[in-house]
């Protein structure tokens, strides 16, 4: 590089100002990189929560929820780290990088809420869980929330299949109601919003719903059949074998 | 379980749609004034240097219109949601920056600074990473506006020869290589800025070819 003293005034000026721009851009790129990394960790941990929760058909609910609670504390720690990067206008500036993690987290606690309360988690409940001392750690946009809960069908479907294996008919019924609500709800919102990704999630939802409806259908048929031949006093595990 | 959650969401999205439409309308106005300014500024390509003042004087009122149109857009946007919608208007603001950058070059043969942008268009360029508190040009928008100058000057080098000015390509070449050394300082990532930066070399090549043609024919020393 040529010596700065031999440069023309014009060039000197350009080198000075562009060095400043470089510093600004570097800080921005570094911040973006940190957010991407943190988001990746949040996503991975949220997935672990989901897997822990899905074990509910194997383990006792107390154990499963306790396990999930431990992981949840770790996720909150990550969100606390993330929140430092997302102050003020930065929340929207880096939303594109952070949204995947936030969505995955909503999916995890959404599944949790469904298993525990048999209901759809609301935005306020999401914010409550994401809070420390009553203050939400990060901004959750309506888009984040909607995309998060629209990922629930896949997990609910998994839970439902596991539950059938255990002969838990009530779980199938609850899952079915839940997915129907999601389908109707998301179709309702779809006409008003500009979220491109949401349209892609609807087919997945529909196929999950179809699977559960089919399963429920064959369960109903067998039950009727069993009723008609009067052997309804078999216990659940045997029923499961029949299905 | 009921649909209330979704009905509330729908309400919120509907309200946002209104804002969307207003922002779009404001951007359309801005686009119109930028295009008009661009057409007026393009006359510079067909004029010899001593007549450029006509062009740069005529463009000033057009900048005022652009400023007004940016103002109408800015009114709709709060600092907190600024970045949420920024991709809707970023192209137009790049265009507006490019216009000022070209006009300042024509007038004073130097690079327009963020201060020039503020002076002509009324809004600051955010050259820091501080969270913003008002409507701004982003650093990217400014830099992308500056990158368009390479293209414009590539054209101007050719057109200078057409209007019989064989000295100007020389000046352009010096200016462009100095400016390029500025861009080479940046550690760019794989994004728009990087892609546009990569295209600069073609514009520089164009300018060098003009110089080569002139020199090989002994038209410049």
* Torsion sign across C-alpha atoms B43, B48, B51, B52: positive
Give me the pLDDT at residue A232, please.
55
Percent above pLDDT 70 for chain B: 100
Q: Residues near A207 by Cβ (< 8 Å), separated by ≥ 6? A: none
Q: Residue B77's closest chain A neighbor by CA?
A: A89
* Among B161, B127, B208, residue whose Cα is nearest residue B49: B161
What whole-number distance in Å separates Cα of residue B130 and Cα of residue B52?
39
Contact B67, B5 (CB under 8 A): no
Of the candidates B82, B207, B81, which has an alpha carbon nearest to the alpha carbon of residue B154? B207
So what's the pLDDT on residue B7? Answer: 92
- In B, minimum Cα distance to A27 occurs at B129
Instruction: Return the pLDDT at A233.
Output: 54
Residues of chain B whose C-beta is under 8 A from some C-beta in A? 1-3, 5-7, 9-10, 12-14, 16-17, 20, 79-84, 110-111, 113, 127-129, 131-132, 139, 143, 175, 178-179, 181-183, 185-189
Taking the domains of chain B in order of start, what are their residue ranges? Answer: 4-216
Residues of A in contact with B2 (CB under 8 A): 181
Which letter does DSSP use for residue A215 in this model?
Answer: H
Contact A192, A176 (CB under 8 A): no
CB neighbourhood size of B38 (10 A) = 16
Which pLDDT does position B154 carry in this prediction? 96
| Contact present, A146 and B9 (Cβ < 8 Å) | yes
Say if CB A54 and CB A158 are below 8 A apart.
yes
- Please give the average per-residue pLDDT across B6-35, as a whole number: 94
Q: By CA distance, what is B81's nearest residue in A?
A: A92
Q: CATH fold of A152-243, please?
A: Methane Monooxygenase Hydroxylase; Chain G, domain 1 (1.20.58)
User: Tens-digit pLDDT profile for chain A (243 aa)?
Assistant: 556 667 788 899 999 999 999 999 999 999 999 999 999 999 999 999 999 999 998 889 999 999 999 999 999 999 999 999 999 899 999 999 999 999 999 999 999 999 999 999 999 999 999 998 888 999 999 999 999 999 999 999 999 988 888 888 889 899 999 999 999 999 888 888 778 888 888 888 899 899 889 888 888 888 888 888 876 555 554 444 544
Q: Where are the beta strands (DSSP E) in chain B?
A: 125-126, 137-138
Q: Strand B137-138 relative to strand B125-126: parallel, antiparallel, unpaired?
A: parallel
Q: Which of A24, A119, A189 sits opposite B10 (nearest CB)?
A: A189
Cβ(A178)–Cβ(A216) under 8 Å?
Answer: no
Per-residue pLDDT, averaged over B183-189, amounts to 95
Task: Output the pLDDT for position A231.
Answer: 63
Pairwise CB contact (< 8 Å): B187 & A194: no
User: With bands split at pLDDT 50, 70 and 90, how would you rate the model's confidence at B1?
Assistant: low
- B185 interaction partners in chain A (CB closer than 8 Å): 15, 18-19, 21-22
Tell which CATH architecture fits domain B4-216. Up-down Bundle (1.20)
**B147 CA: distance to closest CA in chain A (Å):** 13
| Chain A partners within 8 Å of B180 (Cβ) | none
**A142, burial (CB in 10 Å: exposed 0-12, middle 13-18, buried 19+):** middle
Inter-chain CB proximity A120 and B84 less than 8 Å: no
Q: What is the pLDDT of residues B62-85, one digit of tens each?
A: 999 999 999 999 999 999 989 999
Listed in order, the ranges of chain A carrying CATH 1.20.58.190 are: 8-149
What ranges in chain A are assigned the alpha helix state H?
A: 9-54, 61-83, 90-93, 95-117, 123-129, 142-149, 152-165, 169-190, 196-228, 236-242
The reply to whether ipTM tops 0.95 is no
Report the CATH number of the A8-149 domain: 1.20.58.190
CB of B70 closer than 8 Å to CB of B117: no
Give dist(CA B68, CA B59) in Å, integer. Answer: 15
- Cβ of A89 within 8 Å of Cβ of B175? The answer is no
- Cβ contacts (< 8 Å) between A18 and chain B: which residues? 182-183, 185-186
Distance CA(A193)–CA(A199), nearest Å, equals: 10
pLDDT at B198: 95
| Chain B residues in contact with A141 (beta carbon < 8 A) | 84
Token digits for B199? 């295209």
Query: What pLDDT score does A195 carry?
Result: 82
For the stretch B72-78, contacts whose Cβ atoms lie closer than 8 Å and that sit 24 or more positions apart, written own/partner, are: B72/B26, B72/B29, B72/B30, B73/B23, B73/B26, B73/B27, B73/B30, B73/B135, B74/B123, B74/B134, B74/B135, B76/B19, B76/B22, B76/B23, B76/B26, B77/B23, B77/B135
């Amino acid at each position: 590089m040529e010596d700065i003293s031999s440069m023309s005034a014009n060039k000197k000026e350009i080198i000075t100002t562009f060095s400043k721009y470089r510093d600004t851009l570097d800080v921005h790129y570094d911040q973006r990189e940190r957010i991407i990394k943190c988001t990746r960790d949040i996503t991975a941990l949220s997935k672990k929560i989901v897997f822990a929760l899905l074990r509910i058909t194997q383990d006792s609910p107390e154990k499963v929820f306790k396990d999930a609670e431990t992981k949840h504390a770790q996720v909150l720690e990550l969100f606390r780290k993330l929140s430092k990067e997302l102050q003020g206008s930065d929340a929207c500036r880096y939303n594109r990088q952070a949204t995947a993690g936030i969505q995955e987290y909503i999916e995890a606690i959404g599944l949790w809420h469904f298993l525990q309360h048999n209901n759809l988690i609301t935005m306020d409940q999401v914010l409550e869980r994401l809070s420390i001392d009553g203050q939400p750690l990060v901004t959750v946009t309506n888009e984040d929330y909607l995309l998060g809960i629209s990922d629930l069908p896949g997990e609910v479907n998994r839970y439902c299949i596991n539950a059938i294996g255990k002969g838990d008919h009530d779980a199938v019924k609850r899952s079915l109601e839940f997915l129907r609500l999601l389908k109707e709800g998301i179709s309702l919102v779809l006409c008003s919003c500009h979220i491109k990704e949401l349209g892609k999630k609807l087919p997945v939802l529909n196929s999950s719903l179809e699977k559960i409806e089919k399963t429920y259908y064959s369960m109903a048929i067998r039950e009727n059949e069993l009723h008609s031949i009067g052997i309804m006093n078999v216990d659940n595990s045997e029923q499961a074998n029949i299905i | 379980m009921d649909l209330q959650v979704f009905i509330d969401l729908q309400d919120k999205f509907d309200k946002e749609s209104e804002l969307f439409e207003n922002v779009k309308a404001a951007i359309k106005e801005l686009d119109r004034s930028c295009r008009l300014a661009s057409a007026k500024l393009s006359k510079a390509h067909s004029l010899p240097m001593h007549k450029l003042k006509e062009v740069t004087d005529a463009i000033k009122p057009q900048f005022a219109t652009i400023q007004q149109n940016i103002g109408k857009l800015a009114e709709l946007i709060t600092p907190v949601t600024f970045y949420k919608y920024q991709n809707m208007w970023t192209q137009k603001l790049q265009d507006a920056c490019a216009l000022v950058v070209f006009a300042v070059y024509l007038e004073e043969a130097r690079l327009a600074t963020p201060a020039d942008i503020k002076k002509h268009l009324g809004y600051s360029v955010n050259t820091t990473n501080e969270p913003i508190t008002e409507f701004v040009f982003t650093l990217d928008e400014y830099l992308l506006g500056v990158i368009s100058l390479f293209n414009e000057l590539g054209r101007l080098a050719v057109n200078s020869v057409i209007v019989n000015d064989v000295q100007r390509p020389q000046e352009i070449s010096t200016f462009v290589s100095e400016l390029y050394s500025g861009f080479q300082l940046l550690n760019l990532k794989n994004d728009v800025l990087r892609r546009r930066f990569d295209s600069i070399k073609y514009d520089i090549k164009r300018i060098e070819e003009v110089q080569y043609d002139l020199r090989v024919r002994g038209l410049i020393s």
